[in-house]
Structure 1
Amino acid sequence: MSSFPINSISDFEVVARFMRYVQIDTESDPQSNSFPSTAKQKDLSRLLVEELQQIGVADAHLDAHGYVYATIPSNSDKNVPVICFCSHVDTSPDCSGAQVKPLLHANYQGQDLVLPDDPSVVIRFGEHPDLKNQIGHDVITASGTTLLGADDKAGVAEIMDAARLLMSHPEIKHGTIKILFTPDEEIGKGVNHVDLDKLGADFGYTMDGERAGTIEDETFSADGVQVTIQGVSVHPGFAKGKMVSALKVAAEVIRALPKDRLSPETTSKKEGFVHPNHLQGGVDSAAIDFIIRDHLTANLEKHEAELRAIIDDVIARYPAVTYQFKVNEQYRNMKEVLDQHPQIMEIGLEAISRTGLVPERRSIRGGTDGSRLSFMGLPCPNVFAGGHAFHGKMEWVSRQDMEQAVRTILHIVTIWEERA
């Protein structure tokens, strides 16, 4: 075990970094054809490069695609596997990330948190079970009109503070460490242009999880489906018996979806779903975007077949209408890869335990950059970053949980070095 007392570290800067980062608007755009989808994501990435260089990480740089790459050199004489830590800079387009005003509620005592810029937004103790673990902690929220950005600027801040501590404490022994910050994770494109040869890591950890103490080795498998419906457009003044509105047919398809199962609002744990998340069009043509999710990859085809059968049943009522059904693979359950490398999770769980937290292995009803990175050749589970209530105005995180995430990173790298 490392002789350096990592748990005694108290000079954290993770909160100051986090408060600074969330005020930079990095919202991604699912309708954009550029990469990254919004240029403003690079505003934060450029700052991260500057701060990494200031702490002595000499090769930190931003590439043309908006990725930040950086290396903390090994200070061990052992042959230690190269470990990457990854987080994403973008915030979800589900809620505005512009002009975020982070607020720190010191010494939280279980009260409901009324957010001042919109008092109708209340983070209620009874509705957020994890708040019971935050008594005496310092809870950070937004002000009521935006999301906070803990997903995943908490992870970014934690990796940055861990990098600072590693550069300033050479007595913490570790192998070569790679840092990767990605854009566009929230819209499923986070690793589209990542260069793994350039990164040069053997294994990775995304810092993008939720509750302190958790590490996730299982995600959904995910497909996207776009259904394009071709209607019959006629001047509405002369449309009787001729017009067939593609938009109305699309609405019928959505209405025909199961009401009591196979949807996000009626499923939990490892149950999959078919979710329409975007509708656009008019009389002549309409398109519905679906996301299909399940922990068992084989179930995706079953869900897609059921969706197609529903559409066929609706379309059969309109002989003049046609449709196209396009499936796009998004990501797969990373457990299929991680089970081949059990030491990654073993070390992650031990690192969490060494911080004093009770480690919890979890599956996630979602995906991370680690899902795709694992199948691209970088096995990569997901470690807690401490954020809660992602993608909305009630998002929150605590200072103490972020500090524990920083300690977890430090323990991970020391354990890899010890075992080498």
Structure 2
Amino acid sequence: MIKKSWINRPGINRSRLTETFMRLVRIDSISKEEGAISDEIIKILKGLGAETTIDGTGDKIGGETGNIVAKLQGNLGVPAILLSAHMDTVEPGRGVRPVFKDGLFRSDGTTILGADDKSALAIILEVMNIIKERSLPCGPVELVITVCEEIGLLGAKNLDFSLLSAKFGYVLDSTETFGIVTRAPAVNRFEFKIHGKDAHAGASPEKGINAIQLAGKAISKIHTGRIDDETTCNIGMIKGGVATNIVPNFVTVKGEVRSHNEKKLDDLTSEIVSCFKDVIEEYKNESGEDALPALEVLIKNDFPLLKIPDDHMMISLACTAAENLGKKMLTKTTGGGSDANIFFKKGLITGVLGTGMSDVHTVRENILLDDMVDAADLLLEIIKLHSEAGAVG
């Protein structure tokens, strides 16, 4: 009965998908300024009969709105499945004027397009439309549309997980339409503040303690770039000094360590901290100084590890769905993070699916309608398989 009701289902409504995507990318939604896009998404979801809630994340992070949590009850008593995307975009993302030509979406070249991640929003909404208009058998679907993903996964980090019952699902926030990210690194961000002593660089440099020089000495002891096949390290920012004729009395150094191995992450982070501490102590020992130079250390875990077992049913469901569409699903390891990292830490197993977006975070960002259609077909097939398996089980 269930299988027959999905047979010969109509294809994705390409015109509606195009219109939805074009409408969404025209709405400004820079991180912390997602109020307008949130209103539009909620209006669409309510039209689909979804029960919608906005959590308190906006107040916590100083944004215009919080995460959207929407629930579509479906018509089968099977476990809920999670679908997620983020609504914020990066700069330059104001006044986007989308261009659609020869099946390709792009901006007019003065801004990003916003396919990251509004292509995912349009795809999810299209799939929900198909299910509703065809009254297809479907279990509960829980949608989480997050804010401020682009500035540190702030929406996911502050999400009220008590609003959800789903134990697995998919985040749409990658490139390849038939690839699923199942492994992503944990990240530690570090910040070192070195306090030296100012002095006139020409008249009395010996009276000063050059904070920048000390920072450079510490940095020279650190291995950066790709450390091994699981781990990377980067010094990303150095800020200090007032003028060329003043011995700098303060400098800030910021960077990060990423690894797919938590022990390596912790070990390398500790090694970097030791490099800075050793340089400061060495200077004090040689100079006889006591109070200066001084070091402040701040280490912050930016996001946790994503490491989904290869035999998890979430992966097999996506692989089978791809096979049914005549494609092969590839599991992927990435060097970046997403909301899925946060969900995974909370026990909500989510892989990251792609929408076809390309050259994201640049004014050359683009996406093919055909890729968005493929992503929507895949998502629809995943929901179909989940509904069938749950009903049989």
**What is the TM-score when the length of structure 2 is the normalising length?**
0.85
1:212 and 2:212 matched: no
2:92 corresponds to 1:96: yes
The equivalent position to 1:62 in structure 2, one of 54, 60, 69, is 54
Q: Which residue of 1 aligns with 2:24?
A: 21
Tell me the equivalent position of 1:296: 261
- Please tell me whether the aligned partners of residues 340 and 352 of structure 2 are also in contact (alpha carbons under 8 angstroms): yes
Structure 2: which 5+ residue stretches go unaligned?
A: 58-65, 242-247, 285-291
Deviation at 1:281, TM superposition (A): 4.5
Specify the code of the residue in structure 2 equivalent to 1:87: A
The amino acid that maps onto 1:331 is: F
**What displacement does 1:228 show?**
1.8
Match of residue 143 from structure 1: 108
Q: Aligned in 2, Cα 1:254/1:157: closer, same or farther, shift over 3 Å? A: farther
Shift of the alpha carbon at 1:207? 0.7
Q: Answer yes or no: is 1:2 the counterpart of 2:18.
A: no
Alpha-carbon displacement from aligned partner over 1:349-400 (angstroms, at most 9, x marks no partner):
1122223332111111111101110111211111112112222222221111
Structural mapping, 1:297-312, within 5 Å: 297-312=262-277
For residues 402-413 of structure 1, the aligned pairs below 5 Å read 402-413=372-383
Structure 1 counterpart of 2:149, from 158, 181, 185: 185
How far off is 1:142 after superposition?
Answer: 2.2
Percent identity, please.
23
SS in structure 2 at match of 1:377: coil
Match of 2:313 in 1: 343
The AA in structure 2 aligned to 1:21 is L
Could you report, residue by residue, the CA deviation over 1:291-341 in whole angstroms, capped at 9, with x for unpaired residues? 211111211023213323443454456433221222212222221xx3297
Which residue in the other structure is 1:72 paired with? 72
The 5 A counterparts of 1:80-91 are: 80-91=78-89
User: Is the Cα–Cα contact under 8 Å of residues 222 and 332 in structure 1 kept in the other structure?
Assistant: yes
Q: Is the 8 A contact 1:6 1:410 kept in 2?
A: no
Q: Specify the alignment match of 2:61 in structure 1.
A: none
Q: Tell which structure's C-alpha radius of gyration is larger.
A: 2
Cα distance, 1:276 vs structure 2: 2.6
Q: CA deviation at 1:208?
A: 0.8
The CA deviation at 1:218 is 0.6
Query: Which residue of 89, 102, 105 corresponds with 2:101?
Result: 105
Matched, 1:330 2:327: no
Corresponding position of 2:62 = none
| 2:40 aligned with 1:47 | yes
TM-score by length of 1: 0.79
Q: 1:296 to 1:408 in 2, by over 3 A?
A: same
Structure 1, unmatched stretches of 5+, are 29-37, 107-137
- State yes or no: 1:223 paired with 2:181: no
**Equivalent residue in structure 2 for 1:378, among 348, 359, 367:** 348
Question: Hey, what's the Cα distance between the residues in 2 that align with 1:358 and 1:89?
Answer: 29
Partner of 1:174: 138
C-alpha contact (below 8 Å) 1:355/1:404 kept by paired residues: no
Equivalents in 1 of 2:106, 2:219: separation in Å? Answer: 35
How do 1:344-359 and structure 2 match up within 5 A?
344-359=314-329
The equivalent position to 1:363 in structure 2, one of 333, 337, 340, is 333
Residue-by-residue CA offset, 1:105-132 (whole Å, 9 max, x unaligned): 31xxxxxxxxxxxxxxxxxxxxxxxxxx
CA distance in 2 between counterparts of 1:305 and 1:21 reads: 44
Give the match for residue 276 of structure 1.
235
| Structure-2 change in CA distance of 1:306 and 1:70 (3 Å) | same
* Aligned equivalents of 2:119, 2:105: Cα separation in 1: 11
Equivalent AA in structure 2 for residue 307 of structure 1? I
- Following TM superposition, where does structure 1 have runs of at least 4 consecutive aligned residues deviating by more than 6 angstroms? 235-238
In structure 2, the CA distance between the partners of 1:164 and 1:330, relative to structure 1 (3 Å rule), is same
Give the Cα–Cα distance (whole angstroms) in 2 for the partners of residues 2 and 365 of structure 1: 39
Contact map agreement 1:7 1:407 (CA 8 A) in 2: no
User: Could you say what the CA RMSD is over the residues aligned between the two structures, in angstroms?
Assistant: 2.5
